[in-house]
Structure 1
Amino acid sequence: MKFSANLGFLWADLPLPDAIRAAKRAGFDAVECHWPYAIAAADTKAALQETGLAMLGLNTRRGDVSRGENGLSALPGREAEARAAIDEALDYARATGTKAVHVMAGNSSGPLARRVFADNLAHACAKAAKSGITILIEPLNPYNAPGYFLNGTDQAADIIREVGAPNLRMMFDCYHVQSIEGDVTRRLQRHLPLVGHIQIAAVPDRGAPDHGELDYEHVLAQVAALGWDRPIGAEYLPAGETEASLNWMARFR
């Protein structure tokens, strides 16, 4: 089993290039991040080349965080901003060799929001396809992301099928799925053909994946049995120094 360090949470106190180097020292197989835009793409690329790690994914901007915005792509009337954020994320991904972009939906609901989201995803997929980049969408739970448009795996699967782009996939975060719906392994089995990335964290505290409601020894064994051989994203909040939270990794390998 391979693992990717999510640098939005792990080594979050370090500049992104130094966090990439820390992940390499800790034995991770890849990295991923949230919003890298404060760091020049050339600096991120240099750290990736130095360490030999691949950047698996990054997010589109959330919008005005001071107003509680959490993405733009399912917000009617904000299409121009949403597409600008998508284009920016794709540019950064191309410059750094990042393999996927998570297009954040935002806080909205209803048929019009769904149509806007689908249209923006079609735009993202068409532009990403030229560079071999995957577009990801992720259901988020209402405790961490109240009002978020995308809030279930079946809903995400329906939208992926509706858009019909071969490079549109689901980010299956076991922490969010357990918090929203439960039944993680059966849902993963059902949706695996549409899944582009898998992430883990303890439920309900979002800590290291070595405690809580989900038995990740069981979950990861099921993932392996399904034939998944790509790195699993460790997107959790360490309780203290990141290095002190990594005992789970050797056990789960």
Structure 2
Amino acid sequence: MPRFAANLSMMFNDAPFLERFARAAAAGFRGVEFLFPYDYPAEQIAEQLDKHGLTQVLFNLPPGDFAAGERGLAALPDRAAEFREGVDRAIDYARALGCTRLHAMAGLVADEAMRPRMRAQYLENLRYAARRLQEHGLTLLIEPINSRSIPGYFINRQAEGHAILAELGEPNLKVQMDFFHAQIMEGDLATTYRRFQAGVGHVQIAGVPDRHEPDTGEVNYPYLFQLLDDSGYDGWIGCEYSPRGLTEEGLGWYSSWR
């Protein structure tokens, strides 16, 4: 049976962030993920997790100036020192929250001529981060993101991510497979998952094309949930979607999977 984690950056967002944990637990979720925890002391988040019996599944390393449009640092030349500081900060939060998976956002390509230099920096930073996380028993994730949601994002396709895994060979480096992004960029989701499943460290879902509940749009999620079960996937499935209205009113899809 799949295990679903509510993404608290996108779900229950009619409530203040620290109140969303209670809402997720009341809706039947046992895991949560979100983009970033850094606006809150780790102790406050840990208190909410403990109080409501929730597992912290995933969050991202510091992404640079997110409000100004930055979308990660890992592939940005000349930002390596800031990236490494972010790795240490994320490890501190992960240990306080009992979270075992951290995602390193790559960043945006401002100039295509810079792509080779960016790739070299990306590999160097990922190797560093994976080895630092390994010291604490943590897994580092990278995620291909579709070019419509984040134009210019450095990595867009599953094959790109898994090629990096093969090149680096770090045992705790994995790829997130967000079926929303993968459907937009490449489709053929079942075959793509089967091809790369050994390197998939986390799965996320949303309806395509509008990123609403997974029972809307063109993707047959019940089929994919069964595929994940049949394949032996034992990780979490992050519900990274924007509800059409009140989150609880759109959870009909979840009733048979609770």
TM-score, structure 1 length as denominator? Answer: 0.96
Asked if 2 retains the 8 angstrom alpha-carbon contact of 1:173 and 1:200, the reply is: yes
The reply on whether 1:212 has 2:231 as its aligned counterpart is no
Distance 1:191 1:31, change over 3 A: same
Q: Tell me the SS of whatever aligns to 1:5.
A: strand
SS at match of 2:96: helix
> In the alignment, does 2:49 pair up with 1:17?
no
- The aligned runs of 1:81-100 (5 Å cut-off) are 81-100=82-101
Partner-residue secondary structure (3-state), 1:131: coil
- Distance in 1 of aligned mates of 2:18 and 2:134: 27
SS of the residue 2:15 aligns to: coil
User: CA–CA distance in 2 between the matches of 1:150 and 1:237?
Assistant: 23
Aligned residues: 253
Q: Which of 157, 161, 164 is matched with 1:152 structurally?
A: 157
Paired with 1:23 and 1:241, the residues of 2 have a C-alpha distance of 12
C-alpha separation between the residues in 2 aligned to 1:62 and 1:205?
A: 24
For residue 36 of structure 1, what is the amino acid of its counterpart? P
Q: Report the AA paired with residue 52 of structure 1.
A: G
Task: State the Cα distance separating 1:46 from its structure 2 match.
Answer: 1.0
The one-letter code matched in structure 2 to 1:38 is: D
Given that 2:43 and 2:96 are in contact with CA atoms closer than 8 Å, whether structure 1 keeps it comes out as yes
1:40 pairs with 2:41: yes
Matched residues in 2 for 1:133 and 1:23: separation? 25
Aligned 8 A contact 2:14 2:246 in 1:
no
How many Å apart are 1:62 and its aligned residue? 2.2
Partner deviation per Cα, 1:82-120 (whole Å, 9 max, x = no partner):
222222112111111111110000002522111111111
Q: Which residue does the alignment assign to 1:167?
A: 172
Q: The residue matched to 1:57 in structure 2 has which SS?
A: strand
What is the letter of the counterpart of residue 245 of structure 1?
G
State the shift of 1:197 in Å. 0.5
Q: Is 1:56 the equivalent of 2:54?
A: no
Over the aligned positions, Cα root-mean-square deviation in angstroms equals 1.3
Structure 2 residues not aligned, in runs of 5+: none
Asked whether the equivalents of residues 217 and 252 of structure 1 are also in contact (C-alpha less than 8 Å), the reply is: no
**Contact 2:201–2:235 (CA<8 Å) still a contact in 1?**
no
SS at match of 1:95: helix
Shift in Å at residue 66 of structure 1? 4.6
SS at match of 2:238: strand
- Helix, strand or coil: the match of 1:214? coil
Find the aligned partners of 1:201 and 1:195 in 2 and give their Cα distance.
Answer: 17
User: How far does residue 194 in structure 1 lie from its aligned partner after superposition?
Assistant: 0.4
Quote how far apart the aligned CAs of 1:229 are.
Answer: 2.7
In structure 2, what is the Cα distance between the partners aligned to 1:107 and 1:230? 28
Q: Which residue does the alignment assign to 1:242?
A: 247
For 2:233, the equivalent position in structure 1 comes to 228
Task: For 2:166 and 2:91, locate their aligned partners in 1 and report how far apart those are by CA, in whole Å.
Answer: 22
CA distance in 2, matches of 1:76, 1:234: 32
2:204 touches 2:238 (CA, 8 Å); kept in 1? yes
How far apart are the structure 1 equivalents of 2:100 and 2:67? 29
Structure 1 65/232 Cα, relative in aligned 2: closer, same or farther at 3 Å?
A: closer
Identity rate of aligned residues, in percent?
40
Tell me, in whole angstroms, the C-alpha distance in 2 between the residues paired with 1:191 and 1:76: 29
The residue number in structure 2 matching 1:186 is 191
Matches for 1:193-208 after TM superposition, within 5 Å:
193-208=198-213
Separation in 2 of the partners of 1:13 and 1:170?
31
Question: In the alignment, is the contact (CA less than 8 A) between 2:30 and 2:53 conserved in 1?
Answer: no
Runs of 4+ in 1 over 6 A off after TM superposition: none
User: AA paired with 1:195?
Assistant: V
Consecutive unaligned residues in structure 1, runs of 5 or more: none
